Amino acid sequence: MREILILLVGFMFVSNSIQAKDIYPSDPKTVTEQDTLTSMPKVFVLGYNESAYDQLSVEYSASLIEVNAEDEAQAQKMWTTMIVEMEAYADMLEFDIKGVKMWMHVFWNEKGEIKHIGFYLKQSSRNIDTNELTSFLMDFMNNYYVPRDFGKKFSHISGSGVAFPTMNWQIKKRMASKGK
């Protein structure tokens, strides 16, 4: 997966260097806070600093399913809840996340607090300023946690990606008008 992401980033820079410079910051570490224990920013674009990313993946090697006692349904519920909460947080802040499609790798500590979020915008994503998206993700991770003790650090990669809105806006509007 990492090799594919690296190839995609390289292709984007070669095929359209002007657009790539606008979409992806040359040094994402300048955009956000950096973790003092690793050389990875707390929020980062996947494909940068592979050796630090590999270290982070080893440190958070337990999977979301593993910390949910191998219960796939529970793990999926936890992931989906986080994504829905992320969208609700964007709505609350009036941050337009609609049309954003990305791969995400989220890293939690033992207490259910998000410590790192890696993301990579899909080609079919709406064009969004990565600095703004990074700031939003940083704010979200500083205000969201799962109130549970997991006993170990863990992570999850969104295999098929994440897309917003999570539910058709017309369905949401109908549900809101019915008081649900």
Tell me what pLDDT residue 42 has.
95
- pLDDT band at residue 2 using 50, 70 and 90 as cut-offs: low
Q: Which uninterrupted H or E stretch holds 150?
A: none
**pTM, entire model:** 0.74
**Domain residue ranges of the chain, discontinuous segments joined by +:** 34-177
- What pLDDT does 6 receive? 53
Residue 179: φ, ψ to 5°: 80, 25
Min mean pLDDT across 22-36, 61-75, 128-142 is at 22-36
The first and second tokens of residue 144, run together, are 């969201």
- SS3 for 25? coil
How far apart, in whole angstroms, are the C-alpha atoms of residue 104 and residue 161? 7
The Cα angle at residue 75 between residues 6 and 28, in degrees rounded to 5: 30
Distance CA 18, CA 53 (A): 27
